[in-house]
Structure 1
């Protein structure tokens, strides 16, 4: 079967004898440690199916993404359960920028969640999947007049980011519901209203006018539950002061930033503690890494926010609804990205061989690679076959030296062959389509929707 066969060995740049392989397993000095992803039952079922992935790959003829809307429903329900357990009136808006798939928006509509949109296109796409206008939150800076008009027509909740935006909304002369986005103290963000602007905005909205001041919002970078809880208390204070001026002010939004737990604690700690340049094909990333192990993720983080200083009690006592806008957290374990191996070549590092794969897609399908970072959960090599652990990095099918899906040498369980598939798990949140581009006139990977149907999985193309 030639040099692409996992069983090929011997001299001339091939793989060494078994004794040397065992030595490398004991001392993987030129290979990163394994970092298997936490995956859902749906993803595991897909991987274990002996035919389905191959059938889809044959039909698509290129890279593709798979999505599990049933998992989105599970994640939405978990956030709703956290509100219920705390006795808080809460509402979940999916941050649509995290994934464009129509099946995700439909899952939100079917499970009582709204959608946070930031463009006319996103708003229209949400409506098309059954999300009601009053269940939309419209965010983003300097919204176009068309977006403001459409949002007002559909009674969406509009987060006002600037005074001139409020002026333009007022000039439309339409009834509208708004939140005022607060610039956190000490923040250098370009978004939100500073204290002077905030006071001016409150005074601009007439208590008996067509614009209803429904409350206040903020967004924080990072994943600090306590900081979110403490700033939420400040927003409750803003609501109470606005009520004194005759505004309903019964809603606050604390945005997103609910972490996802991709890796177990041991794998993440080992990666951080032992991180070495010798693990990488070329220079290692310089931009830092997402916290791939997150001990209190998703809905559990929301519970921590509500518990801190009894924020839940403050919300209950003052009749205030808490809105959240998770993106990544509602997509946890809800999708994967699949690439076909097109080429395999061998290089050496520290006198030891490793493989460089070329797959039929680009790293634009793993957005983390384009932020001076790398997506760390290990891909799964399919189909499963016996073989020896093989340090492997993964390159894309472009002429760019930097276009690597995995620059670190991953310990694949066997040597990959041309025609094998690589499945990058848990990529639905921001990874799979935030940066995708038809570079080289390559087609964008389609999205495949998978649903359980008794003892089998059924699939169809996503509506978009």
Structure 2
């Protein structure tokens, strides 16, 4: 093996259930039942743990709040059923997403509807179920008010603020338009109730989120002088996740070069696969940050304001992995090319010109054994496209992958599984398989028939 171009390992941080399942016969049972194609495994109990941790972080700082699952992160129905607990909800941005949430037991009052330029159909259904609407523009506010009057409803809305750090963003209301919208909500009070304000920030900085939330506390207090309730602030999503250990990530970033990657395709930009703080610890950092001489939690509590969170990736962290059956391998210079069943569109980071970097795991047919020589390989999909590549980096595996083996990508539930999935070549979309304490089953959209 040529060690001059050998990239260091990037083993994924995993929850105990995942390697335990990989090492059991259950994975092969699922693979046989699926019939030779790729599939995703999801673990709702881990989602429930993550949700409990976020709710616990709010409670520990005595901060009333709601955690809305950002549904776009993963389409599975199984997550939604975990969001029916007190303090939880779902964030949606389309009619199908809203209908899916309602069909899985969410009440409208527990659903937040975001996204810019919503269709009349989405607004109508949201108002019928009394969802919380994030309004992105002045014309949308007028449409909401008109539809609410027609329905005899009062729309509960948040006004989305354009972050001062992103003045060119196409999302949110600029300061002068925001002030006008607050006044307009007062004029529309027969049809609109201004519940507060929302924002979304790029990146994963807890300080930026705390400081902008602190500014919105002042906006809420000002809005109350016009008779608005103004008791809610949503800080959106962007709760950080750590996929790999700090030392592994720092070494990888320090030494990375083109020779580690097939065809020299070293991505210019990737997700920061190690970050701190993450998940619930990031929520704690936000709430404890000093804004205006007091921790944000104290400012919120004193003003009687509820904090809303809209995490996606952080809630499904550690809650799923993706499995691709091996079709064969062949040499390519100093490494192999391993072809798997399925497409790289089922590992969506590649389709952003980036790379999903945590190491895949080889699960060998017949069980683990030490009869092979360690090899480096990239992993490619089975389509006719040169750029259908799941892993450009030549990763080290314990043996050459053989037909019938499985390549497992850990911790893929956050955006990777279905954001860019496609039926190209008329291939079926990989199913999501739910594993729980009683066995496994394919994820189903609506659970009514399962209720006894």
TM-score (norm 2): 0.93
Instruction: Quote the Cα distance in structure 1 between the aligned partners of 2:107 and 2:384.
Output: 45
Q: Secondary structure at the match of 2:179?
A: helix
Which residue number corresponds to residue 282 of structure 2? 301
From 146, 154, 160, the equivalent of 1:175 is: 154
CA contact (8 A) 1:285 1:372 kept: no
- Alignment deviations for residues 271-299 of structure 1 (CA, whole Å, 9 cap, x no partner): 10110111111132434111101121111
Once superposed, what is the RMSD of the aligned Cα atoms? 1.2
CA contact (8 A) 2:64 2:307 kept: yes
Give the superposition deviation at 1:31.
2.7
Q: Secondary structure at the match of 1:357?
A: strand
CA contact (8 A) 1:77 1:111 kept: no
CA contact (8 A) 1:79 1:92 kept: yes
Q: 1:58 to 1:400 in 2, by over 3 A?
A: same
Which residue number corresponds to residue 338 of structure 2? 357
Q: Is 1:190 aligned to residue 190 of structure 2? A: no
Q: Is 1:327 aligned to residue 302 of structure 2? A: no
Count of aligned pairs between the two proteins: 430
CA contact (8 A) 2:135 2:158 kept: yes
Give the superposition deviation at 1:63.
0.3
From 425, 439, 449, the equivalent of 2:424 is: 439
Give the superposition deviation at 1:36.
0.8
- Alignment deviations for residues 91-147 of structure 1 (CA, whole Å, 9 cap, x no partner): 100000000000011122246410000001100001111111100010001001111
From 176, 183, 188, the equivalent of 1:203 is: 183
From 120, 124, 131, the equivalent of 1:149 is: 124
Instruction: Quote the Cα distance in structure 1 between the aligned partners of 2:394 and 2:369.
Output: 20
- Alignment deviations for residues 12-51 of structure 1 (CA, whole Å, 9 cap, x no partner): xxxxxxxxxxxx3xx62233211110111111211121x1
Q: Secondary structure at the match of 2:240?
A: coil
Give the superposition deviation at 1:270.
1.2
CA contact (8 A) 1:92 1:325 kept: yes
Q: Is 1:55 aligned to residue 25 of structure 2? A: no
Which residue number corresponds to residue 450 of structure 2? none
Q: Is 1:265 aligned to residue 249 of structure 2? A: no
TM-score (norm 1): 0.91
Unaligned runs of 5+ in 2: 446-452
Which residue number corresponds to residue 222 of structure 1? 203
Q: Secondary structure at the match of 2:98?
A: helix
Which residue number corresponds to residue 451 of structure 1? 436
Unaligned runs of 5+ in 1: 1-23
Q: Secondary structure at the match of 2:339?
A: strand
Which residue number corresponds to residue 448 of structure 2? none
Which residue number corresponds to residue 276 of structure 1? 257
Give the superposition deviation at 1:206.
2.8
